[in-house]
Amino acid sequence: MAKQASKQASKQVHVPPLLDLFRQYGYDGVSLAKIAQATGLGKASLYHHFPGGKDEMVETVLATLDQWLQQTALAALEGEGDAQTRLGRMGDRISTAYSQGQKPCMLAALMLGSAKDAFQPQVQNLLRRWMGAIAAVLTADGMDSTLAQERSEEALVAIQGALILARAMADTTIFERTLQRLPQQLCRSSSSA
């Protein structure tokens, strides 16, 4: 009884170092030797916890990321306040999760290299739910549904782009500025062409 539970728990224990590796090095850049060193486990122990090898490790991290999205990022969208304040709360959670822009997004990292096809469905699902939740906040604020969807795309574009640029320029203020700008940007009134 407690065995399976401990096995599941022990998997969760090793998720943070795995997340750190995959988001910074991508799928192809992470070797089992690096994983063993980062987790402090031998390779055999890794295959005890993750019989599916590297792929199962990524899947586990993706599942944890899915939980984080639901319980942390999207949870910030529910509560009192108008759309801008809700989106601002989400921005705070995001800034924390990405260490003020110092750490890359694992979803983006996974879409490069040989892992792309394998994990694209999970990544798509995660991003889609994220965008859906943002669009829901905007429509609840009275925005047109189609426009809200487009704005939610804008939101993730800004977040992902800010992560890329902040890392490349080694300037976290780019990320912070983008997040701070985001609520106003999303809630602005549309100016027709």
Partner DNA sequence: AATTTTGTACCGAACGATCGGTTCAAAAAT
Partner DNA sequence: ATTTTTGAACCGATCGTTCGGTACAAAATT
Q: Residue numbers of the site for a copy of itself (CB under 8 A)?
A: 24-29, 104, 107-109, 111-114, 120, 123-124, 127-128, 150, 153-154, 156-162, 164-165, 167-170, 174, 177-178, 181, 184, 188, 191, 193
> Smallest gap, in angstroms, from Cβ of residue 169 to a copy of itself?
6
Please report the sign of the dihedral spanned by the C-alpha atoms of residue 57, residue 60, residue 64, residue 66. Answer: positive
Tokens representing 122 are 């999970």
Compute CA distances 137 → 22, 36, 44, 73, whole Å: 31, 42, 47, 13
The set of residues, in sequence order, having a beta carbon less than 8 Å from that of 63 and lying 6+ positions away, is none
Sequence-distant (≥ 6) Cβ neighbours of residue 190 within 8 angstroms: 147
Q: Among residues 45 and 154, whose Cβ is nearest to a copy of itself?
A: 154
Q: Could you give the CA distance from residue 6 to residue 111 in angstroms, rounded to a whole number?
A: 32
If you write DSSP's letter for every residue of 146-169 in order, what string do you get? Answer: HHHHHHHHHHHHHHHHHHHHHHHH
Q: Residue 142 Cβ, how far from a copy of itself at the closest point, in Å?
A: 19
Question: Binding of DNA at residue 24 (CB under 7 A)?
Answer: no
CB of 116 to a copy of itself, least distance (A): 8
Regarding 48 and contact with DNA (CB under 7 A), the answer is yes
193 binds DNA (CB under 7 A): no
Distances (CA, A) of 174 to 84, 85, 100, 124, 126: 20, 21, 10, 26, 25
Is residue 4 a contact residue for DNA (CB under 7 A)?
yes
Closer by beta carbon to DNA, 38 or else 164: 38
Considering the complex, state which of residue 48 and residue 128 has its C-beta at the smaller distance from a copy of itself: 128
CB of 2 to a copy of itself, least distance (A): 39
Site residues, DNA (CB under 7 A): 1-4, 6-7, 10, 30-34, 40-45, 47-49, 51, 53-55
